[in-house]
Amino acid sequence: MKKVTGIGGIFFKSQNPKAMNEWYCKNLGLPTSDYGTTFEWRDAEDSSKKGSTSWCAFPEDTQYFKPSHKSFMINYRVENLFTLLEELKKEGVTIVDEVAEYDYGKFVHILDPEGNIIELWEPVDETEGESEA
């Protein structure tokens, strides 16, 4: 079973997310909005499948990364989230919350051995001609 299929996003805390977005836009050319930016790409094995990777600065006081005290969170794209969760539970991995389902995919948060929060995301099918994401 394929587990992680790529990086879905990189999220980090910032003292001033708006200023951070503006700096990255001005100096590195990222087309930022209030939610950071999204890099779109095509799957190397099947070019009909589209994907995306998000980059986002969160306010320094965000609670979204809890229970981790780290200033970052990585989102990994996965296949078969529910099957993967069953395997992780058997291995004793800390599952932080319940699976949340949205029109763009399923999400759940886990902790690695050092307490880093990890977001697992099973995106909806992102094939050509479908605009579900």
Q: What is the pLDDT of residues 99-129, one digit of tens each?
A: 999 999 999 999 999 999 999 999 987 554 4
Asked if residue 104 belongs to a domain, the reply is yes
Q: Does the pLDDT value for residue 94 go beyond 90?
A: yes
pLDDT for res 126: 55
The residue among 11, 130, 22, 105 whose CA lies nearest residue 59 is: 11
What is the rounded (10 degree) CA torsion for 2, 45, 100, 96?
40
Tell whether 87 is covered by a domain.
Answer: yes
Q: How confident is the model at residue 55 (pLDDT cuts 50, 70, 90)?
A: very high
| One-letter amino acid of 122 | E
pLDDT for position 33: 93
Please indicate, yes or no, if residue 12 is contained in any of the structural domains: yes
Q: Does residue 130 form part of some domain? A: no
What domain range includes position 106?
4-123
CATH number of the domain residue 100 falls in: 3.10.180.10
What is the pLDDT confidence band of residue 43, given thresholds at 50, 70 and 90? confident
Average pLDDT, the chain: 91
How many domains, in total, are found in the chain? 1
Average pLDDT over residues 1-28: 93
CA distance 127 to 11: 25
Give the integer Cα–Cα distance in Å for 34 and 83. Answer: 34
133: in domain: no
Distance CA 111, CA 95 (A): 7
How many Å apart are CA 127 and CA 49, to the nearest integer?
4
Q: Does 46 map to a domain? A: yes
